[in-house]
Amino acid sequence: AALSNGGQASSFNIPPIKFTKLFINGQFVDSLSGKEFETIDPRTGEVITKIAEGGKEDIDIAVKAARVAFDHGPWPRMPGVERARIMMKWADLIEQNIDEIAALDAIDAGKLYHYCKVGDIPAAAATIRYYAGAADKIHGEVLKASGKFHAYTLLEPVGVVGHIIPWNFPTTMFVAKVSPSLAAGCTMVLKPAEQTPLSALYYAHLAKLAGIPDGVLNVVPGFGRTAGAAISSHMDIDLVSFTGSTEVGREIMRSAASSNLKQVSLELGGKSPVIVFDDADVNKAAELALLGIVFNKGEICVAGSRVLVQEGIYDEFEKKLVEKAKAWVVGDPFDPKAQQGPQVDKKQFEKILSYIEIGKKEGATLLTGGKRVGDKGYYIEPTIFSNVKEDMRIVQEEIFGPVMALMKFKTIDDAIKIANSTKYGLASGIVTKSLDTANTVSRSLRAGIVWINCYFAFGNDIPYGGYKMSGFGRDFGLEALHKYLQVKSVVTPIYNSPW
């Protein structure tokens, strides 16, 4: 297969890279070691620029700055409405720079430039505004305590937060972590993924312009085993919020436990099912299912990577799905015709191709796709396997690419059983016209998100997170704000209570 624009990586609108250093205590600085790492353009495999590589010592300095800002600085102490005003200004600045930031995410992560401009980046500004709006509405409760006590709760910021984020949504993940913790009055150190540091540093710059005080938001690019591990094992970080793989989530929880018992919130992998019932509109359902696996090149933890179709419509569904997959346009993320850009890096590209080989060896039928697109960069065809068995690795393991396992089922009970049969429990989709079926299945799925007759329906006010080994804790919604707050109970005796 060929790329939509003939394999020419376009130089369309690519801005000069302005920020390549660590952002600590309001300044862009080199790492103490002086080390740098390369960030790569997945369209070509070529180096975009070198970035200062944060290590343990840099994380220590960033945490100290965040601690001073928390213990003595204005941010946690100012009225919520003041924090809100500054956050709103930050959101405005992001909107004023959409073109430039979209280009950074496109070259760093292979994300569709035109989509970032109307999707990820305006949505990020909206997320900041959502939490800014909550910053002056944080309050505890008065308790009717039993016994002769007057009691109430205070909601206090948790303290210094460590955020470790992945590369698939550099913008969305950044604001999903940073905005609720800022609104809560926390200070923080964020480590972007080593594959995608560019937009995070740009956001740090805009945060300073907006008036977020020095030390409140520190951004330290670096690798997981060094900078990431320094966050999860730090003795002076109060909470670590992580999004990434289940394996790394386990390590983070382990080092949080063996250091200072910091709180942990984990948003991990998935193998989410999309369940299509006989009464569905087959064409629309096939469209939804395809989008479920190719959106953001399958690099999304809630990807609908298992598609379960009821036997009555299975054959027609399969035919339509394959037609649509073949028509899906893979190409340079700056090409307006492209619907899918390159995978983020060589490692992911090779991992996905190796899963495709595993699927073939396991005896699944390759209906379409299965190969790279073009001869440079990390592009992969939308790939669909049928005749899969529940215990195959391509059915159980997260591939994180445009590779779907398509299955047939008979009854609603079969569908529920298959849907729940992986270690993950992140998202799920149901396609049916029957309210009864939708209600029964949505209550039976062990998953943190159920989309009925839609998929990837995200919202700032919709909590997002997993059951089972997909993690715990929620991003988005007021749940995420409360994750960064802790409850203090204040009790006084009443010696002469009339009640």
d(CA 182, CA 165): 16
Q: Is 390 a catalytic residue?
A: no
466 is a site residue for ligand ADP (CB under 6 A): no
67 is a site residue for ligand ADP (CB under 6 A): no
Query: Which helix (H) or strand (E) is 240 found in, with range?
Result: strand 239-243
Report yes or no: 187 and 69 within 8 Å, Cβ to Cβ.
yes
Report yes or no: 237 and 60 within 8 Å, Cβ to Cβ.
no
> Of the residues 267, 318, 381, 398, which is catalytic?
267
Among 224, 331, 374, 471, binds ligand ADP (CB under 6 A): 224
107 is a site residue for ligand ADP (CB under 6 A): no
270 is a site residue for ligand ADP (CB under 6 A): no
Among 210, 229, 303, 330, binds ligand ADP (CB under 6 A): 229
Among 60, 82, 136, 251, binds ligand ADP (CB under 6 A): 251
For ligand ADP (CB under 6 A), the number of binding residues is 17
Burial of 163: CB neighbours in 10 Å, binned 0-12, 13-18, 19+: buried
Residue 267 or 335: which CB sits closer to ligand ADP? 267
DSSP 125-162: HHHHHHHHHHTT-----EE--SSSEEEEEEEEE--EEE
301 is a site residue for ligand ADP (CB under 6 A): no
Among 63, 176, 252, 300, binds ligand ADP (CB under 6 A): 252
Tokens at 258, concatenated: 């063996």
Among 244, 401, 425, 448, binds ligand ADP (CB under 6 A): 244
Among 193, 204, 288, 438, binds ligand ADP (CB under 6 A): 193
262 is a site residue for ligand ADP (CB under 6 A): no
Q: Beta strand 485-493 with 149-157: parallel, antiparallel or unpaired?
A: antiparallel
Shortest CB 51 distance to ligand ADP, Å: 13
Q: Which stretch binds ligand ADP (CB under 6 A): 74-82, 191-199, 277-285, 485-493?
A: 191-199
Q: Which stretch binds ligand ADP (CB under 6 A): 169-177, 222-230, 373-381, 488-496?
A: 222-230
Residue 152 or 223: which CB sits closer to ligand ADP? 223
Q: Beta strand 365-368 with 383-386: parallel, antiparallel or unpaired?
A: antiparallel
Shortest CB 170 distance to ligand ADP, Å: 10
180 is a site residue for ligand ADP (CB under 6 A): no
Tokens at 113, concatenated: 């430039």
DSSP 306-356: EEEEEHHHHHHHHHHHHHHHHHPPB--TTSTT-SB---SSHHHHHHHHHHH
The residue assigned the tokens 């930031």 is 101
Residues in region 145-164 near ligand ADP by CB under 6 A: 164
Residue 28 or 223: which CB sits closer to ligand ADP? 223
Q: Which stretch binds ligand ADP (CB under 6 A): 40-48, 69-77, 129-137, 241-249?
A: 241-249
| Residue 418 three-state SS | helix
Q: What is the CA radius of gyration of the chain?
A: 24
263 phi, psi to nearest 5 deg: -70, 155
d(CA 139, CA 157): 11
The residues, any chain, with a CB within 8 Å of residue 259's CB and separated by 6 or more, are: 232, 233, 234, 235
Q: x-or-dash pattern for ligand ADP, window 14-43, by CB under 6 A?
A: ------------------------------
**Contacting residues toward ligand ADP, per CB under 6 A:** 164-166, 191, 193-194, 223-225, 228-229, 232, 244-245, 248, 251-252
Residues involved in catalysis: 267
